[in-house]
Amino acid sequence: MAIVEVKVPQLSESVAEATLLQWKKKVGDAVAVDEILIDVETDKVVLEVPAPSAGVIVEIVQPDGSTVAADQLIARIDTEAVAGAAASAPAPASVAAAPVVAASVAAAAGNSMAGVAMPAAAKLMADNNLAAGSVPGSGKDGRVTKGDVLAAVVAPKVVAAPAVPARAAAPLLPQVAAPVGRLAEQLAGRPEQRVPMTRLRARVAERLLQSQSTNAILTTFNEINMAPVMDMRKRMQDRFEKEHGVKLGFMSFFVKAAVHALKKFPVLNASVDGNDIVYHGYFDIGIAVGSPRGLVVPILRNADQMSFADIEKKIAEFGAKARDGKLGMEEMTGGTFSISNGGTFGSMMSTPIINPPQSAILGVHATKDRAMVENGQVVVRPMNYFALSYDHRIIDGREAVLGVVAMKEALEDPARLLFDI
User: Cα(199)–Cα(206) distance, rounded to whole angstroms?
Assistant: 10
Task: Indicate if 396 belongs to the active site.
Answer: yes
Task: Indicate if 273 belongs to the active site.
Answer: no
Strands (E) across 163-280 are located at 217-225, 271-273, 276-278
Radius of gyration from C-alpha coordinates of the chain: 26
User: Cα(238)–Cα(226) distance, rounded to whole angstroms?
Assistant: 19
Q: Is 217 left (phi over 0), alpha (psi -120 to 50) or beta?
A: beta
User: Cα(417)–Cα(318) distance, rounded to whole angstroms?
Assistant: 24
| Burial class, 110, CB count within 10 angstroms (exposed 0-12 / middle 13-18 / buried 19+) | exposed
Q: Tell me the CA distances in angstroms from 328 to 200, 312, 337, one per residue in order.
A: 13, 19, 19
The shares of helix, strand and coil residues in the chain, as percent rounded to the nearest 5, are 35, 25, 45
Among the listed residues 22, 37, 29, the one whose alpha carbon sits nearest the alpha carbon of residue 57: 29
User: Cα(311)–Cα(305) distance, rounded to whole angstroms?
Assistant: 10
403 DSSP 8-state letter: H
Among residues 71, 238, 324, 396, the one annotated as catalytic is 396
Catalytic sites, residue numbers: 392, 396
